Chains A and B, each alone.
Chain A
Amino acid sequence: MKSLGIGFIVVTLALLAFSTYQALFVAPTEQTMGDVQRIFYYHVPSAWVAGVCFFVNFVASIVYLAKRSLNADALAAASAEVGVVFCTIVLITGPIWARPVWGIWWTWDARLTTTLVLWLIYVSYLVLRRFAAGSQTQVLAAALGIFGFVDVPIVYMSIRWFRTQHPSPVMGGGANSGLDPAMLHAFLWNLLAFTCVGIVLIAARFRLQKMENQLEAKHTELALHGGSR
């Protein structure tokens, strides 16, 4: 099992190196945006990984409430943390790209705002995990995890409506409509590499959480029986 994990990490690192090479040197330079467009190869895969992480968090939260398995809770904790990290990357790389291309760092457009609200929701999830006391943490966190994920489509719908009602700054992008094959190639490699990075990070955090749980259990045991042994 352990050698399998190390093997996966090695493969992930190799993939990451190859996809970075693809993104920075092989993919053609975009005509109007120039080199700054290359941030697309990091921005979109990060968003994908963040989305998958939050979905995993949602499923793990439901499984925890149904089965009360500590493993499900550990997975929920790990995926929320990794999701917030990738969501932060999305929120940082976005403005770096937007400044030269749109001329502004930020606009309250539907997708940007939804991502920000998503980030806020899962940061509040992490805060709750941190502040909740003892063994009830898992239940409280699982409840909030379900609330957070249910909220996402509602947030998106409402903000899309809000922004189509009001005039908004000129939008660039729309890269989905016809991506150059060479760009698509680099993009898919990055998507794969980032997904693997996400898996590695979640697995590592999951292991850590399990160790913490074991440690906690031992502490409790020691506190209960320590004197008699």
Chain B
Amino acid sequence: MSPSAVTVATLLKDLRIEWRSKDAINSMLFFSLLVVVIFSFAFNPNAEESRRIAGGLVWVAFLFAAVVALNQTWARELGNQVLDAYRVSPAPANALFLAKVLGNFLFVVVLELLMAPLFVVFYQLRSVGPMWQLVIVALLGTWALVVNGTFFAALSIRTRSREIMLPLILFPISIPALLAMVDATTMILTGGGTPDFWLKMLLVYDVVFTLVCLLLFESVLNAE
């Protein structure tokens, strides 16, 4: 099998499992819904304020929710020693990694599509700046969270308290990406300046860390 065939096969398998169980998407949806409601109680914002804080709120909700899906990425493969089977198979490690990243990326994008209307309704959001830029921020930002998240999930699956370990190592590294997403979103929503720098920043972050992940994943997968 060629690397791309391995990627597609693994991706389709994960999507099928998710389609039948809906484990990740349901828990992510419910979790981010809770964040929306709790933040609304905590800050009780009016329309003007919520436009200012929405950038932070949306991305914190998605970041926390994404961790739920990311934790399941590799945990799913531990049963029946599937991960060990991957390691002895001649399939390239990076093909597997890319499949997992693409899968998580799709889950989180679906989550964002489903949650966006809720945010608009609950926080009376109306964008002052151009809406289409939000799509770019969302795509680049989600990739930034998911590519590192998938990698660190593979790290934390090897540790003792794996569920707690993932956010502990993912959040510090993700701070610049989160800052870029939040500030760009706020800029667009409030119409305060163009987010060009942040978009470039996110692009650089995505490219750099995708490369680092691809370089190191094989060592991590085969760590003994």
Contacts and interface: CB of A to CB of B under 8 A. Distances in A.
Given A146-B216, A150-B212, A162 B183 contact: yes
A18 interface: no
Contact of A136 (B148, B169, B172, B223): B223
Given A124-B168, A154-B205, A148 B159 contact: no
Contact of A133 (B148, B160, B193): B160
Interface in B126-185: 148, 151, 155-156, 158-161, 165, 168-169, 171-173, 175-176, 179-180, 183
Interface string A127-139: 1100111011001
A146 B212 CA distance: 8
B224 A135 contact: yes
Interface string A9-44: 000000000000000000000000000000000000
Q: Which secondary structure dominates chain B's binding surface?
A: helix
A147 interface: yes
B155 A65 contact: no
Interface string B199-224: 00100110011001000100110011
Interface of A is mostly: helix
Nearest to A113: B175
Given A148-B173, A162-B179, A154 B204 contact: yes
B197 interface: yes
Interface residues of A, number: 32
A165 interface: yes
B155 A140 contact: yes
A135 B158 CA distance: 11
Nearest to A139: B223
Contacts of A135: 224
A105 B159 CA distance: 37
A107 B172 CA distance: 19
Interface residues of B, number: 33
B197 A150 contact: no
Contact of B201 (A125, A127, A143, A158): A158
Interface string A38-81: 00000000000000000000000000010000000000000000
Contact of A151 (B161, B165, B176): B176
B114 to A, nearest CB: 29
A117 B172 contact: yes
A186 interface: no
Contacts of B148: 147
A132 B158 contact: yes
Nearest to B183: A162
Interface in A182-216: none
Contacts of B219: 65, 139, 142-143
Given A117-B175, A155-B175, A158-B179, A131 B220 contact: no
Contacts of B176: 151, 154-155, 157-159
A147 B216 CA distance: 10
A133 B204 CA distance: 33
B200 to A, nearest CB: 10
A140 B19 CA distance: 32
Given A140-B220, A142-B219, 4 more contacts: A132-B159, A140-B159, A146-B212, A151-B173
| Minimum-distance CB pairs A-B, first 6 | A139-B223, A136-B223, A120-B172, A158-B176, A131-B159, A121-B172
13 contacts: A65-B216, A117-B175, A120-B171, A131-B159, A131-B161, A132-B160, A139-B223, A140-B159, A143-B151, A144-B155, A147-B148, A147-B212, A154-B176
